[in-house]
Structure 1
Amino acid sequence: MRVAIFTDTYLPEVNGVAKTLGRWVNYLESRGIACRVFAPESGDDSEDKPDRDFVHRFYSIPFLLYPELKLAIPNPFQIRKALREFEPTIVHAATPFNLGLFGLRYARKNNVPIVASYHTHFDQYLQHYKIQWVEPTLWRYMHWFHTDCRRIYVPSPSTKAYLEQKGMRGLEVWSRGVDTELFRPVSDREKILHKWNIPSDSFVLLYVGRLAPEKSVDVLLRAWHKLPADIRSRGRLVLTGDGPLAEELREMLPQNGHMIMTGFVQGRELAELYGAADLFVFPSATETFGNVVLESMAAGTPVIGAAAGGVLDNVQHNRTGLLCTPGSEEEFAAAIERLYRDGELRASMGRNAREYAEQQSWEQIFGRLLDSYRDVLEQESARVRGDFAN
């Protein structure tokens, strides 16, 4: 098996898709399966050096709906040469856009089976950017692109159901795991908070993700202002991430001394923040999975999230966290207050969250995906034999 992956985001980018694909490539290589990744150029060449032998990079421009995501401007000659030398036996399109189109064209022209993975509800982003009129065209394109895909991998049951309602077929759940050795409860909370100039007796509400309209950060801020004065006086709202709303939020910092913006944080430092927080509050209703939710749960921190999308698939209401109506700052504020006042319930939810996360093994998840690849190849082989016999 030789796998060619076409994607609009890859390591060292810090989003969930890039990290997942990076883990997948590492898993395949650990099984002796050769890979080639076709991705936009990286913003940090020094971090990119370890993967240069199998990652082909292309000049890129920011994507309208998601500027941190890059749309590659592919070099057809470079792609054709690389694919001709590599001769992939299966193509995986992790994007339906520019690079994905090259993967699709190669698969069709050379009779190589192609699979796809769906990562982002771009249609749900449209309303936040006031271009809802694009949606019918987007779905026509999505149906056309995926017509020849043998499997379309989706990250959660809710995403599968959503796409089925849109008329998509051939869907299969490819879930996500979490590194429970990295993301785990902490024993040095006071030291971690001190690093961020947060008093040790603070009640810490953490948000991790893109600071953008589609993540409903405004709901979180309105919920914060609805909290009783005693909670806000002790509370600290920690926003981790970056995005188009970052500058506007930074302007609010002088007026709100209880809000901390950390910028991008990753690795051990991010894991420590999850573990040191009292609650993880995530109002986004547009997630296909929500990796950050699972990371928080692995750290033993209960989640207060929107009852929609991938968050709904992972958070067990009243067991590992609380689910709120999307967009309802009143419900988010009430949920925060409930868990602030009931420390025993909060601790119980944290233990349950950790227990749930420990069952989400990357090894098992990737093993199932590899089996699916093999099944696609076996079906292709059977089809070719049948065509030959006829």
Structure 2
Amino acid sequence: MKIAIFTDTFYPDINGVAQTLKRLTNYLAEQKITFKVFAPTSTVEEDQSCPIHRFKSLPFFLYPECRLAVPNLFEIKSTIQDFSPDLIHVATPFSIGLCGVYLAKKLNIPLVGSYHTNFDRYLQYYGMPYLSKITWKYMHWFHRPCEKLFVPSIDTYQQLKQQGFTNLEIFPRGVDCKLFHPHYDTAEVKSLYKSEGKFLLTYVGRLAPEKDLETLLAVAKSIPAELNEKIQWLIVGDGPLREKLEAQAPNNVIFTGYLNGENLAQAYSASDLFVFPSSTETFGNVVLEALASGIPVIGANSGGVKNIIKSGEIGILCPPGNVEEFTKAIIHLIDNIPLRKQMGIACRNYALTQSWNRIFEDLIWQYTKVIDEQNERKYA
């Protein structure tokens, strides 16, 4: 099997799409499955460890981590013809993805797609809800040629089904439980972030409007003063809102910028609670990382997050944007140490069932099914 992946973001970009695709290509390499990746240039040091074709690019205004490339279609066509893939997988609906769709149709190559980002919901946070109908029309047009459209959660599956999409398959996310675990020595982390003897509450993700960080800051400010003195907040990530958030944040909030690898895993492990107000997630990779670290999650009862969190067992789901409910949930778990510890054990046990290998095995089976069906039609 030979796979061509077309994406407008790829490792070492820091976002869920790029990280998921890097996991996928690692798995393909381990399974001796030949692949090529077509992606824009990255803003950070490029990855030289996999067969990847890069193209000059500019950031997309709604989501700077996704970049708009200016690809040379003739060059890509020549490369694809030489490579002769059995299947093309388009992961994003921008310029590189469009090249993948075009070449799949032009060269009669089986095509699948994956849906990673709720751009329709993003529009509300950027003051452009009037573009919703146009966005859905474009998404329909872009994904119509796909034999399968892979979605990360039940919530996204239902949302797209209501919008009239067909050939949907759930392609969830896994977590590296060897990297993310509760057993790090956290004394150094707590010292670094000035949280010795305090409860450490953590958020990980982009600092952007669609993550509803205004709710997070409002929650941080609404906790009663006598308890607030015992709390340290850790905001891990970067993005367009960072400067504004730092100016508005209370004194007990620390902004770390991006963390990755063991530095990120240690921050999770040192935390007492993970607080995630975003209601726009198609899945919520960071939620699964927190659970693998044995950390209960207080999240918005919306999007992919609500499909991960069993409220009352491994965390608490709150109405999106409801500062009072988020605050009550935090106080409840801080005050109830036995419940928090019980939840932490359940979090880890749940994460251990979310194996990347099992998820990718199913994806390869779906790839094979699409290829076989095309061959049957070709030789019928």
Structure 1 unpaired stretches of 5+: none
Structure 2 unpaired stretches of 5+: none
Residue 172 (structure 2) aligns with: 175
1:159 aligns to 2:156 (yes or no): yes
Distance 1:315 1:36 in 2: 35
Residue 4 of structure 1: how far off its partner (Å):
0.5
5 Å matches for 1:20-31?
20-31=20-31
SS of 2:124's equivalent in the other structure is: helix
Residue 10 (structure 1) aligns with: 10
TM score, norm. by length of structure 2: 0.98
SS of 1:211's equivalent in the other structure is: coil
For 2:334, the aligned partner's letter is Y
5 Å matches for 1:1-390?
1-45=1-45, 47-51=46-50, 54-196=51-193, 198-252=194-248, 256-386=250-380
Residue 75 of structure 1: how far off its partner (Å):
1.6
Contact 2:59 2:66 in 1 (8 A): yes
- Higher mean Cα deviation, 126-135 or 244-253? 244-253
TM score, norm. by length of structure 1: 0.96
For 1:100, the aligned partner's letter is G
Identity fraction in percent: 46
Distance 1:259 1:91 in 2: 45
Contact 1:4 1:90 in 2 (8 A): yes
CA-to-partner distance for each residue in 1:49-98, whole Å, 9 max, x for gaps?
223xx100011111121122211111223212211211111000001111
- Higher mean Cα deviation, 211-220 or 182-191? 182-191
SS of 1:181's equivalent in the other structure is: coil
For 1:319, the aligned partner's letter is E
For 2:372, the aligned partner's letter is E
Contact 2:282 2:303 in 1 (8 A): yes
Residue 44 of structure 1: how far off its partner (Å):
2.6
SS of 1:50's equivalent in the other structure is: coil
CA-to-partner distance for each residue in 1:311-335, whole Å, 9 max, x for gaps?
0010110000000000101100000
For 1:329, the aligned partner's letter is V
Contact 2:14 2:65 in 1 (8 A): no
SS of 1:71's equivalent in the other structure is: strand
Contact 2:9 2:65 in 1 (8 A): no
Contact 1:184 1:300 in 2 (8 A): yes
For 1:209, the aligned partner's letter is G
SS of 1:337's equivalent in the other structure is: helix
Contact 2:57 2:69 in 1 (8 A): yes
Residue 289 of structure 1: how far off its partner (Å):
0.3
Runs of 4+ in 1 over 2 A off after TM superposition: 250-253
CA-to-partner distance for each residue in 1:134-165, whole Å, 9 max, x for gaps?
11111111111111100000001111001101
Identify the structure with the greater helix proportion: 1
For 2:185, the aligned partner's letter is D
Residue 252 of structure 1: how far off its partner (Å):
3.5
For 2:43, the aligned partner's letter is G
Residue 381 of structure 1: how far off its partner (Å):
1.0
Contact 1:68 1:243 in 2 (8 A): no
Contact 2:238 2:257 in 1 (8 A): yes
For 2:202, the aligned partner's letter is L
Residue 300 of structure 1: how far off its partner (Å):
0.1
Contact 2:268 2:293 in 1 (8 A): yes
Distance 1:71 1:90 in 2: 23
For 1:49, the aligned partner's letter is Q
Q: RMSD across aligned C-alpha pairs, in angstroms?
A: 1.0
Distance 1:135 1:187 in 2: 45
Residue 187 of structure 1: how far off its partner (Å):
4.5
Residue 195 of structure 1: how far off its partner (Å):
2.4
